[in-house]
Structure formats: structure tokens, C-alpha cells
Amino acid sequence: MSLVAELAARAHSVGSRPVPPAIRAAARAHLTDAVGALIAGHTTLAGVARTVSAGYGDTRRTAFLGGVYAHGWETGDIHRGSVLCPGCVVLPATLAVLPANASSDGYERAFLAGYEVALAAAAAIGGERLIRRGWWPTALLAPLGGAAAASVLLGRPPAVTASAIALAAQHAGGSIAGATDQADGKYLLAGFAAERAVTAFLAADSGWTGPLDILDDPRSPLRRSEGRSEGALPEAFLLPETSLKPHAGAKHLQGAIDAVLSLRPPEGWPRSSVRRLRCLLPAQLAGIVDRPPPFGSALSALGSAQFVLAVSALRGHCTPWDFDDGALSDEAVLELARVVEVRSADDLTAAYPAKWGARVEVATASGAVSADRLDARGDPGNPLPDHEIVGKFTTLAARELGPVRAREVAESLLGPDPSTVPVLREHVLPLLGGSFGRSPENAAAGVRTGGSS
């Protein structure tokens, strides 16, 4: 059986067989997280993203904008072993084709199916192999999951799903090579990936057929990796192996941010009191995030250990709102960033890629303190409890929805009997092209709501 056929079968298996309650709960957590990331992205990036999608039809525009917003601040989920971010593609793809008669159960199954296809493809092909060559695994492989999710959501047969997966693979692309100080095109990568997922499904649904052997052909850059034989897809659900991020910024630095925040005094460190902040990481990650000031752009700062650790130490958090122009040129942030050192540690290197650990050492006038994080908060070994997911969602969505409504939306998506589809229709789809009104709470508080950018 071809890998494409195996992936299609996996999608339809998720869509039809019983799903354990723990897997359901995990899927809702990831859905809630992805929605929060999308709303935060809309708050900050709506005007720019819409100029690119002006000529798109409704379905493609919904997918594209959703992808740009959902990954804009790198607050979404990521699978460490395959370096894959499924949510920023699967969520927009399912939103773009959401049928009027969709049930919450059917939607959640399709969402889960998209994750399972994308993650299984990455396991078979080797996402880590792709990123070493400068390709972004999410751009190449998450569209396979997005296309499959759209097909399952609309009740299409396995043959259509297989062609949609194959077409998404045939038209894959997306490189992370190149600097971001003076370039902002990286914001568009997840948008193009989500759009490609939907376009592949629509083509398959209208009768176009994809090459079902594309993931097995020796000439294919996305071929099944050697040693990963036919029929060797993981049997267990893969979504629970995917990490949630408690902070904005690259996954490489989530453990380090946790460590800094655990060491930070309640009142913060006085300015200039930190003489050195040393960040130890796996060797595979240290060079990527060693980006000292000056910080030319928010995109560059998102992957800079110097910036995110300085901001976290000074402000006690690292959110999308900490990457504005004022923060990039804040002298207090720059002063602390200049004493951040990035090094590798042998024990952390040996644990990678199963663990993306970090060790932080802070030297001040009164002495030195240190903290280790082998599993960051949100990793499978250290999962975020529901109240922290709700808190993160509220931080991300409060500027758009207002704090009360944001908390209510998160709790509705996470709840044991969620009203998933109505929530998505009322609070998310309007941000991707429809109208979105002010709630009385927001109007009274003067909070900006969607549709104004």
C-alpha cells in the first residue's frame, strides 16, 4: 500500500472509530490553543495579510488568512520529533470548508484526523531531515493533514482524500532559509500552506487525481525515509505527543523562558543588576537562536534567545504584545540582552530531539542562581492544565474579544460538551472575511473588535 493510501486510511479511521476520552480532551486543548493563536494574529496582522489575499475566492482567502494569523507569533503547537506545527494549517483548512450542517462531533473528528495525517506523514518522511535542508516541515507536510481534514469533514470517500493528500504533496514548498531582519515573508508561509491544503482538496473533490505514489517514489523530495517501511505508521494517536507553547517565540526557547520566569523575583530584577544570563541548550538548537542585538524585526526577535529571555526577565512574560517596535528598541531590554550568552550543553544535546531542554544561569550582584527544564511547560511530559490553557487564550484573545468573552470562548471549546461549531462560526470565521460586531462588554470598554483592520 502506498504511503498516501495509508494516510488516507488513517484519516478515515479517526473519522469513524471510537475516540478515547483522553484523546478527545487533547484534541480540544489543541483546537483551543490554535484558535487563540489565530485571534492574536488577526489583532496584529490583519491589514497586511489581507493585501496579499485580495484576489482570492472566499474559501482560499479564509484558509490563507487563518494560516497567517495562526502562526504569526509562534504561539501555536509543535511536535518536537518532526518539528511540525499542525494547528496553524489544519484549523484554517477546516474553517475554510466548514459546512452549514457540521456537528461539533464531526468537526472535532476531522480536526483530529488532520493532525494524525500530518504527524504520521512527518514520522514516515522525517521532518527533522527536511529542516536540516532549509525546508519548513510544516509548509511541506501539514497541508497533507489539512487536505485530509477537509475531506473527512465534508464526508468524502477515501479515494478523494487520498488524491487530496497526493495533490497537497505534489505542490509542496516552503523554505525557512534566509535572514528575517529585513524580510517579513515568513509570516506568509503558514498562510500559503493552509491555502494549498484547501486547493488540493477542492481539486480532488472536482475530479482531479494526485499521484498516489508520490511519497514512495525515489525521486520525490518527500519520499518515505529509508528504514521506515510500508505499513510502519505509528498505531497510537500522535496528537498527544504534540507540545503546546505557554509563551510566544520559537519552541527552542520555551524551556529557557520557563527557567528564567522561575528564577525571577516577584518584583523583577533591578535594572543593570543582572551581570550575566547564560542559556544552555542542545547544540542542535543553540546556534539557531544565538541572535544578539540589535533586533531588526519582530520576526528575528521571535527566534532570539537574547531578546525573549531579556523581555521575560524584565516583564515577567513573553507574549505577542512584547514584540512591538517599542520593545525592540527598549534600552532596558537591549541592555540585558547584551549580557545573555548562549551555549550548548552535552547532556541536553544527548537528549535531543526527544527533549528540547534548557538550563539557565543568572549572575547578579548578590550571587548566582540556576534552573533546569528538560520538559518545558506544555510538553507531553509536562502538560498545561486547562486553567493555564484558558489563561493563555485570554491573553491572546482579550484585545479582540474582551477578557470576559475570551475566557468564555476558551471554556466553551475546552468543555466536556463543547459547542465547537457555533463558537467557531460566531467568534472565528468573521475574522477571516465576515462581519464581527462589538459585544456590549467590548463597546463599553472601548476594545477594538474584528472587521476594523
- DSSP-derived letter for residue 53 is S
181-185, 199-203, 442-446 — which is least confidently predicted?
442-446
Q: What is d(CA 39, CA 270) in angstroms, rounded to the nearest whole number?
A: 34
Residues 6+ apart with CB under 8 A from 135: 174, 175, 176
DSSP calls for 383-444: PPPHHHHHHHHHHHHHHHH-HHHHHHHHHHHHSSS--HHHHHHHHTGGGGTS--PPPHHHHH
Task: At 418, give phi and psi (nearest 5°).
Answer: -75, 150
72-81, 213-222, 432-441 — which is least confidently predicted?
432-441
Q: What is d(CA 77, CA 79) in angstroms, rounded to the nearest whole number?
A: 7
Name the region of 47 (left: φ>0; alpha: ψ -120 to 50; beta: rest).
alpha
pLDDT in tens, 123-170: 999 988 898 888 999 999 999 999 999 999 999 999 999 999 999 999
Task: At 207, give phi and psi (nearest 5°).
Answer: 110, -10
Predicted local confidence at residue 182, as pLDDT: 84
The predicted model gives 282-294 an average pLDDT of 96
Residue 453 has pLDDT above 50, yes or no: no
Residue 262 has pLDDT above 50, yes or no: yes
Predicted local confidence at residue 229, as pLDDT: 54
Range from 57-61, 65-69, 128-132 that averages highest in pLDDT: 65-69
* SS3 (DSSP) at 287: helix
Q: Which of 132, 129, 86 is nearest to 228 (CA)?
A: 129
Residue 230 has pLDDT above 90, yes or no: no
* SS3 (DSSP) at 84: strand
What percent of the chain is predicted at pLDDT more than 90?
81
Q: What is d(CA 424, CA 279) in angstroms, rounded to the nearest whole number?
A: 40
- CB burial of residue 220 (10 Å; 0-12, 13-18, 19+): middle
The predicted model gives 97-112 an average pLDDT of 95
22-31, 227-236, 292-301, 318-327 — which is least confidently predicted?
227-236
Q: Give 57's pLDDT tier (boundaries 50, 70, 90).
A: confident
Q: Which H or E run includes 367?
A: strand 367-373
Predicted local confidence at residue 53, as pLDDT: 73
What is the CB-side half-sphere exposure of residue 231 using CA atoms within 13 A? 1
- Torsion 191-354-244-341 (CA) sign: negative
Task: At 416, give phi and psi (nearest 5°).
Answer: -65, -25
pTM summary value = 0.92
Average pLDDT of the chain to the nearest whole number: 91
The predicted model gives 307-318 an average pLDDT of 97
User: Domains of the chain by range and CATH?
Assistant: 3-241 (1.10.4100.10), 251-373 (3.30.1330.120)
Residue 452 has pLDDT above 70, yes or no: no
Name the grid cell of 225: 525515509
Predicted local confidence at residue 174, as pLDDT: 93
219-228, 311-320, 340-349 — which is least confidently predicted?
219-228
pLDDT in tens, 363-389: 998 899 999 999 999 999 899 999 999
Per-residue burial over 125-159, b if 16 or more Cβ lie within 10 Å, else e, is bbbbebbeeebbbbbbbbbbbbbbbbbbbbebebe
Q: Give 232's pLDDT tier (boundaries 50, 70, 90).
A: low
Q: Which H or E run includes 150?
A: helix 137-153
pLDDT in tens, 337-356: 999 999 999 999 999 988 99
- DSSP-derived letter for residue 79 is B
Residue 197 has pLDDT above 60, yes or no: yes
Q: Do 292 and 279 meet the contact criterion of CB atoms below 8 Å apart?
A: no
DSSP calls for 341-364: EEEE-HHHHHHTTT---EEEEEEE
Predicted local confidence at residue 254, as pLDDT: 98
Predicted local confidence at residue 218, as pLDDT: 93
Predicted local confidence at residue 228, as pLDDT: 58
Predicted local confidence at residue 179, as pLDDT: 84
Name the grid cell of 77: 503547537
Name the grid cell of 388: 493555564
